[in-house]
Amino acid sequence: MEDCVLISKRILPGERLADNVMEDTLEKFHRDGFALIPGVLTRDEIDALREATDRCFNDPVLAGTDYVSGRGDGFVLRHTLELDAVFVDMLIREPILSLAEAVVGEDCKFCGQNVIRNARGQAIDLWHVDDRVEFPLPDDVPRHDSRIRMPVQWFTIQMALTDIDTIEDGPTQFVPGSQYSGRDPNNQENPEFDGRGPVSAFCKAGDVYLQNNQCWHRGAPVTSDRMRYVFQSQYAAFWAYRRFSTYNHVPVPPTVLSRASERLRGVLGV
């Protein structure tokens, strides 16, 4: 792959999925809101990503900064592209990139990346959609029509760096099809959509799963002694990236900002 020049030398170029596997994966993703692809990453790649993650979490310079967030000492590593080339290489690792292109378009763009390293008592364990409900429905409309594929503006590809094969290991959980609900989760204890409750994405280190950000999900609480590592990259449709990333970087002269009202500054995002 002449266009796939990797920087770190520790991540492989990888290969696209076979057409039938790609088609089946996309069908599951659009229907259920998530889809698992087993055995994508090698042991060496897993080790490289975990080593980089541990080094960053253990760096006293990063402690207490925007690079580390979450309860306790922090369990989410952010701004990873600045921290190690292995994270950068993962953006174009196959079949991850071609999956992203299949979901949000061949001109898709990076829109986020982080690593979750959580132990007992650390989890994003509230049921939620990411950011907000993008296609809300009024109370008298029960759901979006299942005959359509819900539009995907951006989404997450999660990569397990440890085995997460029991409920005690804190698997990501989903309510299948709930991206069609047009609503936030209807219950924090046992959410249900269209007669289906939560399912757990049990997986092995090296497995990859696609996650629709509008599908109700959470990380189940970790109750085992195994540290859970999940690496994730987000990709956006080009139009959304351009609209919300490029266009709002037009500089506003300081002479204007110095006279701007709070209302104007709020609209400008400064």
User: Residue 257 falls within a domain, yes or no?
Assistant: no
Length of the chain equals 270
Mean pLDDT computed over 149-175: 98
- State the pLDDT at residue 183: 98
- State the pLDDT at residue 101: 98
What percent of the chain lies above the pLDDT cut of 70? 98
Residue ranges in 65-179 assigned as alpha helix (H): 85-89, 96-104
User: Residue 137 falls within a domain, yes or no?
Assistant: yes
Measured CA to CA, the distance from residue 160 to residue 171 in angstroms comes to 10
Mean pLDDT computed over 41-49: 99
CA angle centred on 120, ends 206 and 177, rounded to 5°: 55
User: Residue 270 falls within a domain, yes or no?
Assistant: no
User: Residue 207 falls within a domain, yes or no?
Assistant: yes
User: Residue 256 falls within a domain, yes or no?
Assistant: no
- State the pLDDT at residue 6: 85
Contacts of 101 (CB under 8 A, 6+ apart): 108
- 59-91 pLDDT, tens per residue? 999 999 999 998 767 999 999 999 999 999 999
Greater confidence, 176 or 260? Answer: 176
User: Residue 205 falls within a domain, yes or no?
Assistant: yes
User: Residue 14 falls within a domain, yes or no?
Assistant: no
User: Residue 8 falls within a domain, yes or no?
Assistant: no
- State the pLDDT at residue 1: 45
What φ, ψ does residue 22 adopt, rounded to 5°? -60, -45
What CATH code is carried by the domain that includes residue 212?
Answer: 2.60.120.620
Worst-scoring range by mean pLDDT, 7-11, 171-175, 253-257?
A: 253-257
Fill in the DSSP letter of residue 151.
P
Domain that holds residue 87: 19-236
Residue 246 in this model has a pLDDT that exceeds 90: no
Residue given tokens 């088609």 in the structure block: 23
- Split into its structural domains, the chain has a count of 1
- State the pLDDT at residue 71: 75
- State the pLDDT at residue 4: 63
Greater confidence, 270 or 115? Answer: 115
Given a contact cutoff of 8 angstroms between Cβ atoms, the answer to whether 238 and 107 are in contact is yes
Predicted confidence band at 3 (pLDDT cuts at 50, 70, 90)? low
Mean pLDDT computed over 219-240: 96
